[in-house]
Chain A
Amino acid sequence: MFRTLRLSATVLGNVPRCRSLATASSQLPLHGHLPTSQSPITPKLQFFNSVTEDGKQIPTYRVLDGSGKVIEGAELPELDQDLARRMYQNMLKLPIIDNLLYNVQRQGKISFYMTAHGEEATLIGSAAALALDDEVLGQYREMGVLLWRGFTYDSVMAQCFGNHEDAGTKGRQMPVHFGSKEHHFHPISSPLATQIPQAAGVAFALKRDPARRGRNCAAVYFGEGAASEGDFHAGMQLASTIPSPTLFIARNNGFAISTPASEQYHGDGLAARGPGYGVQTIRVDGNDVLAVLAAVREGRRLCIEEGRGVLVEAMTYRVGHHSTSDDSFAYRPRQEVEDRKRIDNPISRFRLFLESQGWWNAEDEESFKDQVKKDVMKSFKRAETLQRPELNEMFEDVYAGEEPWNIKEQREELKTLLKKYGGSWEPWKSELKKYKGEGKELL
C-alpha cells in the first residue's frame, strides 16, 4: 500500500506539466505514461475484456441481405456483369463437384473427401479479390480458390484419385490435398495451421523480391479450429513483427469437426485477436460474397501497402459434414443444418442479387449447371480409368541430389520381393495392375 502511494506521488509530480500540455492538446493523458510504453496511466482500477471499449462484439460487415438487396448504408464493391457472373458460376461449380465426389467416396471409389458446402461465398469472394499470382496457402477446404484460378476438373479428379496425372502430389497425399505451382497454390498438408507461419515466410519472400514487392501478398486460409493451434499465434506474431504482406483469411464456420466454436474460444471469435497482434482486422459475413469480395480486396490493398499482416474473419456455417469420415448429426441436429441451408444460403443470396441486376436468369442457371455436371462427370469417368503413378514414384522426391543409400537399398529390397511374390501372391498381383507400368520399372 505504501509502495503504491509513493509511486503515485512520484507520478503526480509530473501532473502540472501534463496538465499544462493537456490544455494544448486534450489527447495527452492526465497522468503521463510508463517510460517503455505509450499506455496512459489511469487511477481507475478497471479490468477489461475483448477489444471493443464497452465489451460489445466486433461488428460483421455485410453488403447484401438475405434477399440479395444492398443493405442500408452499404456500398456495392466495384463489380461488373462479367465478374459477377464468373463469381456466381464458380460458386455453383463447388456443390456440383462436392456432391459427385462425396457420393463416389460413399461408393468406395475414392478414399476420402471434404466438401465446402455453405462456404462457397467465402471461398469465391476471397479468390476473386486476390490477384491470380498472389501466393495462396490453404488448409483443405479451399478447392474453390483453385477453380477460380483455372484449375481443371481433370486436375481435381487426378488428385482425388491419386492417378498418374496428379502432378500436384503424384498420388502421395490424401484426396483434397491439392497444390499447383502454376496456380500459386502451395501444397496442402494435413497438419492444421502449419501453413500460417509459413505464409508469413512466403510473404517476406515476396517483399524481398523486387519483381513482386508491392504487387503481391501471401493469402493464408484456415478454420476457426486451426486458429487455436500455436502456429496461428506464431503466424500472426511474425507477420506483424517482421512486417510481411500476409493476408489471414479465417473461415469461421462454427465447427471444428464436432467441436462447436463456443468450445474453441471464449473471446469474441478470431477477429478480437487481430488487434492484440497489431494486425488490421475485419469481421465479414462469409455468406455474402460481395462483402467478402470487398473486405478481402481492401484487406489485400492494406496488406500490400503497409507490408504487414491483415486479418479477415469470415463468419459462415459448415453445412456439410466435416469430411466423409464424419457424421455431423451425431453432434448437431439435422434441423439446424436444414434451417441454415434454407435461411442463409450464400448461393441463392447472390443469385437473387444477380437476377435483380438482370445478369442471370433461370435459363442461365439450368444450362450452366447441366454443362458443369456433364463436364465434371466426364472428368470423373476419365480419372476413374487412369492408372496410379509408377510404383517407383513411392521412392522419388524424398531427397534432391544424390539419393541416400537407405532409400536406394530399400527400393532394391522391394524389387526383390516383387520378383519373388509379385507374380503369384494375389493381393500384390491384383494391386500391381493399378499402377502405370504395373510395377515393371522395378523388376
Chain B
Amino acid sequence: MFSSKLARLPGRRLQLLDRSARRFQSTSGEPPSASGHSPSVANSSYLRTTRESALHTPGLQWVDEDNNNVAGRETRKMNLYQAVRDAMSFALTKDDTAVVFGEDVAFGGVFRCTMGLAEEFGRERVFNTPLCEQGIAGFGVGLASMGHTAIAEIQFADYIFPAFDQIVNEAAKHRYRSGGKYNVGSLTFRCPTMSVGHGALYHSQSPEGYFLGASGLKLVIPRSPIQAKGLLLASIRDPNPVIFMEPKILYRSAVEQVPIDDFHIPLGKAEHLTRGDDVTVLTWGTPVYTCETALHMLANPPESIAQHIPASVRKAKVELIDLRTILPWDVETIEESVRRTGRLVIVHEASRTGGVGGEIAAEIQKRCFLKLNAPVKRVTGWDTPVAMAFEKFFIPDALRVVDAIVETLTY
C-alpha cells in the first residue's frame, strides 16, 4: 500500500521509477483491454443496476409519509434523460404552480427530457418559448417572484450567456436587494452541459465557473440517473434559484435502476465514490467516469503505458469524490479528505484559468497547507475554445487523469 509519508522522503521518486521499470519487464500481468481503458459509463460500478442498491443510494431522502422505509419501494431502469423527465413529472404533479418552458420543450425537447409532459400536464404548464435565452430567464424570474415554480430550460449550457445578466444581476440578487421581501427561490434552470464527442465550440462547454461569483445562486451537476432525479427535485424545491447542468453525453449512456417514488439528494453535499488515504481525486459530471477508468488504469496499467506507472503507485488507495453541487461547494468533505490524503487532483472539462478547480485549489491550499504533500493538480480542458477535430486532446481523458495521479503521488 502506498504511504504518503514515505513519499516525502528524498529519492522516493527514483525508487518508484525503478519499480516501474521492473513492472514493465514483467510478463505476468493481465493483457490490457482492447480499448485500452475499462470500464466506461456502460459498465460503471458507480451506476446502481439492482433494485436493492438503488434503494440504498447514500443520502437519498424519500419525500413522502413513508419516510425511509424501503421495503415496498420499486425501481425502474432509466437513463439520465428519463430520470430528469421523471423528476419534472413529480414537480408538476405535486405543485400546481409548477411550469416547464424553454425552446422546443413542448414536443419533448431536443434531448427528450420533457417527453410527454405537455400531453400529460397541458400546454399551459409545459410550453415553448420564443428563441430568446434572456427572455426565458427573465420570464422565469418574473414567474418565480410571484411564488410560482419555474423550471426553465436553456437548450445548451453554451447558450446560457445571453441570460447571464438575468441570472447574475437579477435572479441571484433578488432576495438580497429586496431586503428578503421578494425572492425567486422557486426558479430552476436546466441545461445540457459538457462534451459530447463532436460538439465543438458551442455544444461542449462547461460554463459552471462563470457562475461562481454569483452569490445567491446554487449550481448543481449530477453524474447519473438516480443523482439527476434526486438532485433535480431538490433543486426545484430549494428556496434559492438553481442552475442544474445535465452532462449531455450521459443522457442515454448512463443507465441505472431509479427509485420510482419522489426523493431528494441533498444539495451542497459531495459524495465519496471510493475511499482511500493516498490521494483525493475530485470531479463532477461526465469526468466521474473518466476518473473511474483512470483508477482502473492506475491499478492495472495497459502494457502500452505501464512503464510510466510505477508499481508502487498501482496499489495507491485513491479517494474519488463527486462534488455534485458546485455552488456553494462542500468544502468540509473535501478538506477532511485532503487532510487525510495530503494530495488533491481536481478534474473538470472546463478550461483551467477561471475554472472551478482554481477556486477549490486556493481554498484547500489555505485550509490544508501543512497537510499537503504535493501541489494541488488540476486536470482540465486547455485555455482554448473546444475545437471539434481536436476534442480527444482537449477534454481530460483517463490517461491525463492517470498521469496527474502518478505525478501527484510521486511528487
Taking the complex as formed, is A79 at the interface, i.e. its CB lies under 8 A from any CB of chain B?
no
CA of A137 to CA of B142 in the docked complex: distance in angstroms?
10
Evaluate contact between A181 and B146: CB separation under 8 angstroms. Answer: no
Interface flag for A205 (CB, 8 Å): yes
Provide the residues of chain B in CB contact with A23, threshold 8 Å.
Answer: none
Given contacts A189-B170, A205-B143, contact A172 B239 (CB under 8 A): no
5 nearest CB pairs, A to B: A201-B142, A197-B138, A234-B135, A404-B328, A205-B146
A396 to B331, CA, bound (A): 21
Q: Which residues of A contact B176 (CB under 8 A)?
A: 172, 397-398
Scan residues 161-217 of chain A and give those whose CB is less than 8 A from a CB of chain B: 166-170, 172-173, 177, 179-181, 186-187, 189, 191, 194, 196-206, 208-209
Contact B142 A179 (CB under 8 A): no
Is B166 touching A399 in the complex (CB atoms < 8 A)? no
Would you call B273 an interface residue if the criterion is a C-beta within 8 Å of the partner chain's C-beta atoms? no
Contact B240 A201 (CB under 8 A): no
| Binary CB contact string for chain B from 143 to 178 against chain A (1 if under 8 A, 0 otherwise) | 111111010000000000010011001100111111
Closest residue on chain A to residue B144 by CB atoms: A201
For A242, give its contact among B134, B139, B147 (CB under 8 Å). B139
CB distance from A149 to the nearest CB of B (A): 15
Residue pair B138, A198 in contact (C-beta under 8 Å): yes
Tell which of B129, B137, B177 touches A241, judged by Cβ atoms closer than 8 Å: B129
Residues 24-66 of B, flagged 1 when their CB comes within 8 A of A and 0 if not, give 0000000000000000000000000000000000000000000
Closest to A188 in B: B177
Task: Quote the shortest CB–CB distance from A244 to chain B (angstroms).
Answer: 9
- A206-B146, A233-B132, A238-B130 as given contacts; A397 in contact with B138, CB under 8 Å: no
Instruction: Pick the residue among B134, B328, B332 that contacts A197 (CB under 8 A).
Output: B134
Would you call A397 and B332 a contact (CB within 8 A)? no
Q: Does A402 contact B (CB under 8 A)?
A: yes
Q: Are A194 and B166 in contact (CB under 8 A)?
A: yes
Q: In the assembled complex, which residues on chain A have CB atoms less than 8 Å from the CB atom of B129?
A: 238, 241-242
Do B175 and A400 have beta carbons less than 8 Å apart?
yes
Given A181-B182, A405-B328, also A172-B177 (CB < 8 A): yes
Find chain A residues with CB under 8 A from B101 CB.
242
Residues of chain B within 8 A (CB-CB) of A172 are: 176-177, 179
Report yes or no: B178 in contact with A235, Cβ–Cβ below 8 A.
no
Q: A234-B132, A241-B130, A397-B176 are in contact. Are A198 and B141 (CB under 8 A)?
A: yes
Q: Does the CB pair B180–A191 fall under 8 Å?
A: no
User: Measured between alpha carbons, how far is A231 from B129 in the docked complex, in Å?
Assistant: 14
- B380 CB-CB contact with A under 8 Å: no
Tell me the complex Cα distance, A167–B139, Å: 26
In the complex, whether A218 has a CB less than 8 A from a CB of chain B is: yes
What residues of chain A lie closer than 8 Å to B353, measured between beta carbons? none
